[in-house]
Chains A and B, each alone.
Chain A
Amino acid sequence: NAGVTQTPKFQVLKTGQSMTLQCAQDMNHNSMYWYRQDPGMGLRLIYYSASEGTTDKGEVPNGYNVSRLNKREFSLRLESAAPSQTSVYFCASRDPTGRSDTIYFGEGSWLTVV
């Protein structure tokens, strides 16, 4: 049982390049999230998906797009990377209809935009 898996773990981009962070969970969870973590800022929600086929903006969505491909997968795309998007990105999932309220995080993706 892998839990939440995200790739890549490390990535360096040049300003203006695009890339997609991939996330998959094998726990049959309905809700999935993308957070970014910056020093002193905690975990800030970028986008979330309540269920397959639905996505909504979080606290800091500008510069990002998401796609909930199916129940397992939730990808985050940077169309034109900017230095301000240098951060650690965490994908997470939980099952609001299940017995556990635990949020499970992926291992994180370290992104540097130069």
Chain B
Amino acid sequence: GENVEQHPSTLSVQEGDSAVIKCTYSDSASNYFPWYKQELGKRPQLIIDIRSNVGEKKDQRIAVTLNKTAKHFSLHITETQPEDSAVYFCAAIYLYSGGYQKVTFGTGTKLQVIP
């Protein structure tokens, strides 16, 4: 089965600096990689995702990059703000038309943005 490793487990940055969180996956068949943000006491919510036919995707201050050969993908947050403080989860999924796809999450990164 799929195994997803996520690093670092905790990350502290100064407001305005960039933050990078990295994930590696084991199953080369995985083709969909979402990132979720979970604020304290809240549910995880999707913030950005990328498919395996794309190397990079950007949405305002957040971006995700994917290296299929090395089987790793990263979340980049630029110009961090205090409201970015949360736990971030990556996931790796093998999507195919129809049927069930098991979702494997990383163990999470607690990001703290220091004002």
Contact = CB atoms under 8 A, between A and B. Distances in A.
Contacts, number: 61
Interface stretch (A20-28, A41-49, A65-73): A41-49
Interface centre among B32, B93, B98, B105, by most A CB within 10 Å? B105
B102 to A, nearest CB: 7
Given A102-B34, A103-B34, A40 B9 contact: yes
Nearest to A101: B32
A42 B102 contact: no
Given A90-B43, A101-B32, A105-B45, A41 B95 contact: no
B44 A90 contact: yes
Interface in A33-91: 33, 35, 40-45, 48, 50-51, 56, 58, 90
Contact of A42 (B32, B43, B105): B105
Contacts of B41: 108
A101 B43 contact: no
B27 to A, nearest CB: 15
B93 A45 contact: no
Nearest to B107: A42
Contacts of B9: 40
Contacts of A50: 99-100
Interface residues of B, number: 28
Given A40-B9, A96-B95, A45 B103 contact: yes
Contacts of A106: 43
Contacts of A105: 43-45
Interface in B77-94: 89, 91, 93
24 contacts: A40-B9, A42-B6, A42-B89, A42-B107, A42-B108, A43-B44, A44-B105, A45-B102, A45-B104, A50-B99, A50-B100, A56-B100, A90-B43, A97-B98, A101-B32, A101-B49, A102-B34, A102-B49, A103-B46, A105-B43, A105-B45, A106-B43, A107-B43, A108-B43
